[in-house]
A and B are shown apart, each in its own frame.
Chain A
């Protein structure tokens, strides 16, 4: 049986569920640089033609309703869309700053972070960063608190708000089961007619991206989005138009999101151990003060009685 890192953390954690484990979890994260052979996808935005075949394929392989409106209808690009409960991936259109060049199409889906905010946020460990690179979701334990939606820096997970009985969090799985069990490519990668998407080991993809940038310095911006953002992601992008003009948040920094709560979680065992000592001390102190006051009161009464 292979266990994911998160399951492992979960097991260590279960030992002292009330929070004592906060620090041990934090320590376990310290030198983890990611699963060595994890996969990813490189999106080359200079190649994408906005055909939305990836949206169609994604819906098909994931049993989602077909994209609305259909790929032939270009009016869909009039507004910027995000992923939602019916679509794991969406393609948006951004105008090219050079009016002679075609617009830029940007496919959006889960970035599959190396250290996912959603996974660190989940109170029932419904998310796992698998050794294969995908961040997967297990609806069978989800309680529907939607903290993952709150935490995700990329605004990716969506929720089935219209379901009363079994609402789920919906997001791209990088076709984890398809890749692992059937040895196939993710649906979107397989269908892309212009090879704008490349599936492979993340380390190879970074080399490939760098090669393209070095060979065509005029065509590409010298930045691989996702190489370092929020500690690195499995899904990465290269582009000819600056990322900030294509709806990418350039303000996310390179700190993995679990770091943001690590300090706080580490303080938990300190409070759990020191507060009882401190407050019991305070209680004993005030009781002693009362006893002394009472004794003094009694002895002064006695003196009064004597005199």
Chain B
């Protein structure tokens, strides 16, 4: 057993070094008592018993799902928003490793970690929603529904999760000091990134493709044959803006770990903002084409139409303009603000497709039960805690002095 600096130590010391950040258990435990951790504990105290009820009493006890509204918040938010907002991993990964935009290398690891954890917790969220979650591997090994878009989603999310794990592995092995393994997985980076782009293209769009079968249930302003493209393009936007948001948070919270100076970091933020602004403009045009393709202009005057306009003008076009302005003025703070605005817009879009515009004409409307909110918040909390646990230990935000960067 050796430490980062190469000293020989006992197993206990090694454990202390890895798990308790070099502190004794007592010290470590004392340091854990912070306002954030107290709130997180309270959330878990509510969430874990609800999880228990969910898996022992069934979905009826913990959700407001009905036969008319079989997918609620756990699919609409945990899965649809989760996957879209975790797209930063593949967006940044391909920018740095494939397009050769090396200046973004300092933020690629946190983006990949966010992506990996995002998908991981999407699968956890999905397990809450599935009637028989222990059969999750069935579409891979037992029975194949190849005509199903869901089959595609299942396979690709599983494969992509593995891909992201490979991309995350260099940091993990640097932390553990496994140099040979680290060398091996670094060699896989390009392949994993390319495979990840393919899988992301397909499953991000497939999540929109799922709703192609909701032909007469989804409001015509949201239902178009372009739904898969909408989901893919908006996920790329979600990925980039989420990286802006996530990196600004980590730079504040973990500032002691970061060597990148503020000026350089702001430049990266502005660069990402520029890309997000362009993609948002493309997405806006797509949304217009969606309405034109179905010739649904007359629906814009209806209450649902106004809600649609709010989404498209207020949460796509408006943040797009703000981003353009902020990028031209080089105002990184405003780019961050616009990024959060865009993320909210993306969540609004997924909530619209999955809940508000879905079954819009039925009297039986779905409103989530409080326990559904509680589970979602619990999963997000555990996700944040895991992220922090890893960032505090592994070389995510800083570069390990013993290793060459991957590129």
Tell me whether A120 and B201 are in contact in the complex, defined as CB-CB below 8 angstroms, given that A163-B58, A167-B132, A283-B190 are known contacts: no
The reply on A19 being an interface residue by CB < 8 A is yes
Is B201 in contact with A275, judged by CB distance below 8 angstroms?
yes
Closest residue on chain A to residue B213 by CB atoms: A151
- In this complex, what residue of A is CB-closest to B208? A264
B342 in contact (CB, < 8 A): no
A289 at the interface (CB under 8 A from B): yes
Task: Please give me the residue from chain A that is nearest to B68 by CB atom.
Answer: A155
The reply to whether the CB of B151 lies closer than 8 angstroms to some CB of chain A is yes
Establish whether residues B98 and A17, one from each chain, have CB atoms under 8 Å apart when the complex forms: no
Q: Is A84 an interface residue (CB 8 A)?
A: yes
Establish whether residues A161 and B197, one from each chain, have CB atoms under 8 Å apart when the complex forms: no
- Nearest CB of B to A243, in Å: 15
Contact across chains for B152 and A265 when beta carbons are under 8 A apart: yes
Interchain CB contact under 8 A, A144 and B201: no
B135, A161: Cβ atoms under 8 Å?
Answer: no
Q: Identify which of residues 219-268 in chain A touch chain B, using a CB-to-CB cut-off of 8 Å.
A: 249, 251-253, 257-258, 260-261, 263-265, 268
> Do the beta carbons of B150 and A147 come within 8 Å of each other?
yes
Q: Mark A7-28, 1 if CB is under 8 A from B, else 0.
A: 0011011100111011001000
Q: Assess A150 versus B132: contact at CB under 8 Å? Given A25-B147, A123-B151, A161-B60.
A: no
Total interface residues on B, using CB and 8 Å? 64
With contacts A123-B151, A144-B130 taken as known, whether A282 is within 8 angstroms of B98 at the C-beta atoms is yes
The reply to whether B139 and A123 contact each other, CB–CB distance below 8 Å, is yes
Report chain A residues within 8 Å CB of B146.
9-10, 12-14, 17, 21-22, 25, 125
Residues in chain A near residue B198, CB distance under 8 A: 271-272, 275-276, 279
Tell me the B63-95 residues at the A interface (CB within 8 Å).
63, 65-68, 70-71, 94
Which chain B residue lies CB-closest to A29?
A: B147
Say whether B1 faces chain A, with CB atoms less than 8 Å apart.
no
In whole angstroms, what is the CA distance A149 to B349 when docked?
A: 22
Q: Is B21 an interface residue (CB 8 A)?
A: no
- B12 smallest CB distance to A (angstroms): 42
* Chain B residues near A13 (CB-CB < 8 A): 144-147
Contact (A159, B67) CB under 8 Å given A122-B148, A272-B198:
yes
Contact-residue size bin, chain A (C-beta under 8 Å from the other chain)? 35 or more
Bound-state Cα–Cα, A264 to B197, Å: 18
Bound CA–CA A143/B213 (angstroms): 19
Instruction: Say if the beta carbon of B117 comes within 8 Å of chain A.
Output: no
B201 touches A166 (CB 8 A): no
Indicate if the CB atoms of A147 and B147 lie closer than 8 Å.
Answer: no
Q: Of A10, A84, A163, which contacts B144 at CB under 8 A?
A: A10
Q: Which residues of B contact A253 (CB under 8 A)?
A: 215
User: Which of A150, A271, A282 is the one whose CB lies under 8 Å from B202?
Assistant: A271
From B67, B140, B212, B217, A261 is in contact (CB under 8 Å) with B212
Q: How far is the CB of B218 from chain A (nearest CB, A)?
A: 10
Q: A283 contacts which of B97, B133, B135, B144 (Cβ < 8 Å)?
A: B97
Residues of A within 8 A of B225 (CB): 260, 263
Mark each residue of chain B from 42 to 78: 1 if its CB lies under 8 Å from any CB of chain A, else 0. 0000000000000111111101011110110000000
- Chain B residues near A144: list those with CB within 8 A: 130-133, 135
Q: How far is the CA of A123 from the CA of B65 in the complex (A)?
A: 21
With A146-B131, A153-B215 known as contacts, the answer to whether A10 contacts B68 (CB < 8 A) is no
Residues of A within 8 A of B32 (CB): none
CB pair A164–B130 under 8 Å, yes or no, is no
Chain A minimum-CB-distance residue to B151: A123
Task: State the CA gap A164–B149 with chains docked (Å).
Answer: 26
CA distance A157 to B390 in the complex (A): 44
Indicate whether B99 reaches chain A with its CB closer than 8 angstroms. yes
Residues of B within 8 A of A184 (CB): none
In the complex, the answer to whether A150 meets B216 with C-beta atoms within 8 Å is no
B205 engages A287 (CB within 8 Å): no
Does A213 interact with chain B (Cβ within 8 Å)? no
Could you tell me if B152 and A153 are in contact, using CB atoms closer than 8 angstroms?
no
CA distance A125 to B138 in the complex (A): 10
Using Cβ atoms and an 8 Å threshold, which residues of chain B touch A12?
146
Q: Is B209 interfacial (CB-CB < 8 Å)? A: yes
| Contacting pair A147 B210 (CB below 8 A) | yes
Interface flags for B13-48 (1: CB within 8 Å of A; 0: not) read 000000000000000000000000000000000000
Residues of A within 8 A of B153 (CB): 123
Q: Which of A123-177 contact B (CB under 8 A)?
A: 123-126, 141-147, 149-151, 153, 155, 157-164, 166-167
Using a CB–CB cutoff of 8 Å, the interface residues on chain B facing chain A are 55-61, 63, 65-68, 70-71, 94, 97-100, 129-133, 135-136, 138-140, 142-156, 159, 190, 194-195, 197-198, 201-202, 205-206, 209-210, 212-217, 225, 228
Q: Assuming A122-B148, A144-B130, what are 7 further A-B pairs, CB within 8 angstroms?
A: A13-B146, A123-B150, A144-B133, A162-B61, A167-B131, A260-B215, A268-B202
Could you list 26 A-B pairs, sorted by A, with CB under 8 Å? A14-B144, A14-B146, A25-B146, A84-B67, A120-B148, A121-B149, A141-B142, A142-B131, A142-B135, A143-B135, A145-B129, A145-B150, A150-B210, A158-B67, A160-B131, A161-B58, A162-B58, A164-B55, A257-B215, A260-B215, A261-B147, A263-B225, A264-B206, A265-B209, A271-B202, A276-B195
